[in-house]
């Protein structure tokens, strides 16, 4: 298969994407439900998803919970100034904490913005978030050269891959 062929979406790919634009069905066997909807097999649907992942058509398949609905209303993006050579170690360590949904590196924009590690911390309220941030600060020790908490002011709509009609 050529590079162009491997990244081209056919009719079945498009039906799978349309069927999952609002998320995977909340059933015990979501790929089987999608397969029924698009007229295929669950094995073929999973194979198609894998190919789309490998070709960069989609980045990931994962759950995106609504933290507010779950009672976590004090959510804050924490930003940290840590040594660049330790970002991989600390990113994994912090990303594995049960109260952090994601952690990632971002470039600094000095002199205004010295932070290079971002981590989303979830809590029932801001006080709980601040307590959890202190735990992160303790983990970082002297490598914590500064941090801030940027609290969410609204929920951003999170959506997956969308197909736009040519018409």
**How do the domains of the chain map onto residue ranges?**
3-54, 76-151
pLDDT value of position 82: 97
Give the pLDDT score at 71.
Answer: 63
**Helix 42-54 and helix 30-38, axial crossing angle in degrees, nearest 10:** 100
Q: What is the pLDDT of residue 97?
A: 95
Q: What is the pLDDT of residue 152?
A: 72
CA atoms within 13 A on the CB side of 56: 2
| pLDDT tens series, the chain, 167 aa | 334 445 688 999 999 999 988 788 889 999 999 999 999 999 999 999 999 999 988 877 776 666 666 666 678 999 999 999 999 999 999 999 999 988 999 999 999 999 999 999 988 899 999 999 999 999 999 999 999 999 877 665 555 555 655 44
Q: What is the pTM of this model?
A: 0.60
Top CATH class of 76-151 equals alpha beta
Q: What is the DSSP string of the chain?
A: --HHHHH---HHHHHHHHHHTT---SSS-HHHHHHHHHTS-HHHHHHHHHHHHHTTSS--------TTTTT----EEEEE---GGGHHHHHHHHHTSTTEEEEEE---BTTTB---EEEEE--SSHHHHHHHHHHHHHHHGGG---EEEEE--SPPP----------
């Amino acid at each position: 298969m050529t590079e162009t062929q491997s990244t081209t979406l056919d009719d079945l790919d498009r039906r799978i994407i349309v069927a999952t634009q609002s998320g995977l069905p909340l059933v015990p066997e979501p790929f089987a439900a999608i397969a029924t909807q698009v007229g295929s097999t669950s094995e073929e649907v999973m194979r198609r998803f894998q190919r789309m992942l490998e070709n960069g058509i989609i980045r990931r398949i994962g759950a995106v919970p609504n933290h507010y609905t779950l009672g976590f209303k004090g959510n804050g993006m924490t930003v940290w100034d840590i040594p660049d050579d330790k970002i991989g170690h600390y990113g994994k360590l912090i990303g594995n904490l049960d109260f952090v949904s994601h952690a990632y590196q971002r470039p600094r924009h000095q002199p205004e913005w010295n932070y290079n590690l971002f981590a989303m911390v979830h809590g029932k309220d801001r006080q709980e978030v601040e307590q959890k941030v202190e735990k992160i600060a303790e983990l970082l020790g002297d490598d914590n050269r500064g941090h801030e908490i940027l609290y969410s002011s609204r929920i951003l709509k999170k959506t997956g891959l969308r197909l736009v009609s040519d018409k």
